[in-house]
């Protein structure tokens, strides 16, 4: 099933007293910095967590954001960062062999305010339901990449899956955004999404990274995405355009 995209209504974020507080966990990465820009564009107060050695990557934001240095898997750091947050945007990356992604996810799930919108990022390889359909080629590629990454002890892709399982099992107001392959470039607009991997709308398998971030930020005010794991693709990609054309045929 697919849904045509409508830009969700934006909250009134014009005054300090009503301004939403958005926490970005993993703010210094590429996705994190794009999310920070989109959140600031919407008038949100932005707090971000990143490793101490990466704080300098955020220099261009100056004092428009608040940075809390620390490992994103550090529970005390996350507890402090998510205090009072209306939304928490978490970049799930399975670095190293010490359950980095699942420990990050668990800390966010445990400490974010009960009513906060929690949006997590991952890739299509995370299965959300039996409806997801993968080609043999895709599965083989993920298996080889997982083995190689684990062999050199750089990345434990299975840990991103464990992190997603914790999100799915939680009683929070979560959304897990599953990204296609990513590319740099100007925004093309809000990505389109399918509820399952294998949906023809996703066939192009390419999204601009800034638009992945845009989808994460828009999801804050898009309650229809609560409890969903949308798989996204660029709105100007061939498969998205073909889907749009078929609706008008």
Q: Which residues contribute to the site for ligand NAP (CB under 6 A)?
A: 26, 28-32, 50-51, 54, 57, 91-93, 95-96, 100, 121-123, 179, 181-182, 209
- SS3 label, residue 180: coil
* CB closer to ligand NAP, 13 vs 55: 55
DSSP annotation of 71: -
Residue whose token pair is 């990050």: 104
Query: 72: closest CA among 180, 163, 178, 177?
Result: 163
**Nearest distance from C-beta of residue 90 to ligand NAP, angstroms:** 8
- SS3 label, residue 113: coil
Q: What is d(CA 41, CA 35) in angstroms, rounded to the nearest whole number?
A: 10
* CB closer to ligand NAP, 85 vs 91: 91
**Nearest distance from C-beta of residue 163 to ligand NAP, angstroms:** 10
213: its two tokens: 């971030």
**Nearest distance from C-beta of residue 146 to ligand NAP, angstroms:** 13
Element (H, E) at 157: helix 157-169
229: its two tokens: 């794991």
* CB closer to ligand NAP, 29 vs 191: 29
DSSP annotation of 61: G
**Nearest distance from C-beta of residue 220 to ligand NAP, angstroms:** 17
**Nearest distance from C-beta of residue 230 to ligand NAP, angstroms:** 12
109: its two tokens: 């799930």
* CB closer to ligand NAP, 9 vs 60: 60
* CB closer to ligand NAP, 112 vs 164: 164
Instruction: Give me the residue whose beta carbon is nearest to ligand NAP.
Output: 29
Query: 88: closest CA among 15, 28, 176?
Result: 176
**Nearest distance from C-beta of residue 246 to ligand NAP, angstroms:** 25
* CB closer to ligand NAP, 13 vs 168: 168
């Amino acid at each position: 099933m697919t849904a045509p995209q409508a830009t969700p209504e934006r909250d009134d974020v014009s005054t300090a007293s009503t301004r939403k507080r958005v926490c970005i966990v993993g703010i210094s990465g590429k996705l994190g910095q794009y999310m920070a820009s989109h959140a600031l564009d919407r008038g949100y107060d932005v707090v971000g967590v990143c490793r101490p050695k990466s704080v300098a990557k955020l220099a261009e934001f100056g004092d428009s954001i608040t940075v809390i240095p620390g490992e994103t898997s550090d529970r005390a750091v996350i507890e402090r960062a998510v205090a009072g947050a209306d939304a928490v945007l978490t970049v799930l990356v399975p670095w190293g062999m010490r359950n980095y992604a699942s420990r990050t996810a668990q800390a966010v799930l445990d400490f974010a305010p009960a009513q906060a919108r929690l949006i997590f990022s991952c890739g299509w390889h995370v299965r959300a339901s039996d409806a997801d359909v993968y080609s043999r080629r895709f599965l083989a590629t993920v298996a080889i990449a997982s083995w190689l990454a684990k062999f050199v002890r750089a990345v434990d892709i299975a840990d991103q899956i464990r992190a997603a399982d914790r999100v799915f099992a939680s009683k929070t107001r979560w959304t897990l955004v599953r990204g296609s392959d990513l590319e740099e470039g100007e925004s093309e607009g809000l990505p389109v999404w399918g509820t399952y991997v294998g949906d023809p709308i996703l066939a192009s398998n390419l999204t601009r990274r800034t638009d992945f971030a845009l989808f994460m930020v828009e999801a804050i005010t898009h309650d229809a995405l609560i409890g969903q794991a949308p798989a996204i693709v660029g709105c100007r990609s061939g498969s998205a355009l073909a889907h749009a054309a078929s609706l008008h045929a």
